[in-house]
Amino acid sequence: MQPKYVIITGGVISGLGKGICTASIGKILQSYGFSVTAIKIDPYLNLDAGTMRPTEHGEVWVTKDGGEIDQDLGHYERFLNIDIPSSHNITTGQVYKKVIDNERRGDYLGKTVQLIPHVTNEIKRRIREPKDTDFVLVEVGGTVGDYENILFMEAIRQMKYEKEKVVSVHVAYVPVPEHLGEAKTKPTQHSIKELMGMGINPDFIVCRSEKPLDDERRNKITKFCNVKPDNIISDHNIDNIYEVPLLFEQQKFGEKILKNLNLKPRKTDLKEWKNYIENIKKIEKEAKIGIVGKYFDIGTSTLTDSYISVIEAVKHACWNNNLKPNIKWIDSKIFEKNPEKISILSDMDAVIVPGGFGKSGIEGKISAIKYARENDIPYLGLCLGMQLAVIEYARNVCGLKNANSTEFDKETKYPVIALLYEQTEKLREIGYGATMRLGAYPAILKEGTLIRKLYGKEKVSERHRHRYEVNPKYIEILEKNGLVFSGKSPDRILMEFMELPDHKCFLGTQAHPEFTSRFMHPNPLFDGLIKSLY
């Protein structure tokens, strides 16, 4: 099958929601009966997002096959309800590395190796890799005019010239400055000019704006940018990101893309999606979910991007249970500075401790877990959140004073969380990179546990991203004192899920179930947490 390509570029500023735009176009094409996959291009030199700080780049998304990549892939999976492989995240680092490796092997037969054609050919090769699909959506990260993405733009220009079936969509910003109250199209005009300077004439312009685009601005953009008014799509602010496909559908964006390729919809079935959104709008009852994290601060702003998948998973589960999510961000460090503040948790319907690395904020998180356990507040611990729940239980119920993870205290007398032997070896051999348990791993759930009931099956698979594990030496004492390991790896060595049967709902997992939660299909653990609020 020769796929068609929809290439999405961005202009004016970053953070316009190109990822949501890409995912929404994909959703519409999917609803027309076409198979769709998506690629994200990240023009940075890192090979992947695995080594980036969450406050630097937002959350690191983990694919089923163990890739640590850009969070936009998460949007694609959540909208399209498909698994996207790690090879669908292309970075400049990967492209250069491959070209240099090829050169060292002599693959270029003595030729001078150049940006064009060798680097652009490698980019095109990667974009063309997915074969078995009707559409490949390709989102180019960054903004037009960035030095970093010039070669990607050039590769796209070549693809258009090579008569491949390519539709190009440019997402630009139309600001409405507060002091004017009027939408300004000049930044969009400049950004299209820049794009055209690279030889790419966009087929569609998506205008991100605070307000719907009126005819006057639409005509103005047409006049300056050679795109007819019909192909200028308004992508104005709406309450819920999952509504964007509907906003596009109202403007027949999907049909217009197909028309550009001489195609017609095979069917239309966005109805269920639409009804679901309609229902969400009617929800009145709120669920207050406290997320006790630590990756919030960049400068003076708070970066909730670090936990984007957790936020989306909470939303999916709340909506599934006819509740409106009200997420409260709690920086665990405040409980370290002001222990009395812990009582703010009494106001929460449920508490989540998400994943994380390093020592900062750990004791605050442990205090929060203790409070949730002792006050019967529904709790969900994700990866680090489960490890800390085990530490808290070891310290305060099993009497293992100062129990800890060797990640935070190498000399701890009771290392209830530790690196397993093989991992310690690996760490010594290779240093710190690429030593994590990454991607989907199976677990066998124990009969009669709440978690088994929530998943409704014995064998499950969730995605992982961590180095440390529950130390097998302490399982007996933890279990004797009432902690139940409700899911273990098939060889029974790794503790994958835990719960406290005497509690209203106290769940933990070594995995990151937020990565498998999708719109209209919440992950069972999140769903279970929210169900326990009734």
Binding site for ligand GLN (CB under 6 A): 355-357, 383-384, 387, 407, 465-468
CB 435 within 8 A of CB 58: no
Q: What angle do CA 237, 195, 234 make, to 5 degrees?
A: 20
Name which of 56 and 216 has its Cβ closer to ligand GLN. 56
The residue of the chain with the least Cβ separation from ligand GLN equals 355
Q: How far apart are CA 327 and CA 209, in angstroms?
A: 25
Name which of 21 and 383 has its Cβ closer to ligand GLN. 383
Q: How far apart are CA 308 and CA 169, in angstroms?
A: 25
CB of 405 to ligand GLN, least distance (A): 7
CB 372 within 8 A of CB 345: yes
The number of beta carbons lying within 10 Å of the beta carbon of residue 522 is 26
Name which of 18 and 437 has its Cβ closer to ligand GLN. 437
Q: Catalytic: 383?
A: yes
Name which of 245 and 361 has its Cβ closer to ligand GLN. 361
CB of 426 to ligand GLN, least distance (A): 13
CB of 59 to ligand GLN, least distance (A): 11
CB of 468 to ligand GLN, least distance (A): 3
CB of 264 to ligand GLN, least distance (A): 45
Q: How far apart are CA 30 and CA 287, in angstroms?
A: 32
Amino acid found at 55: T
Name which of 122 and 407 has its Cβ closer to ligand GLN. 407
Q: How many residues does the chain have?
A: 534
Question: How far is residue 103 CA from its own chain's centroid?
Answer: 35
CB 38 within 8 A of CB 198: no
- And the tokens for 455? 């998943």
Torsion of CA 446, 450, 453, 458, to 10 degrees: -20
Name which of 149 and 306 has its Cβ closer to ligand GLN. 306
Name which of 191 and 405 has its Cβ closer to ligand GLN. 405
CB of 94 to ligand GLN, least distance (A): 23
CB of 437 to ligand GLN, least distance (A): 8
Helix extents (H) in 205-354? 215-225, 244-250, 253-260, 271-282, 308-320, 333-337
291 by DSSP, 3-state: which? Answer: strand
Of the listed 21, 207, 383, 505, which one is catalytic? 383
Name which of 44 and 357 has its Cβ closer to ligand GLN. 357
CB of 267 to ligand GLN, least distance (A): 40
Q: Catalytic: 398?
A: no
Phi, psi of 118, deg, nearest 5 = -70, -45
Closest CA to 170 of 36, 238, 149, 250: 149
With residue 132 as reference, give the H or E element that holds it.
Answer: none
- Contacts with 187 (C-beta within 8 Å, 6 or more apart), sequence order: 11, 12, 172, 173, 174, 175
Q: Left if phi > 0, otherwise alpha if psi is -120 to 50, otherwise beta: which for 370?
A: alpha
90 by DSSP, 3-state: which? Answer: strand
- The residues that are catalytic are 383, 512, 514
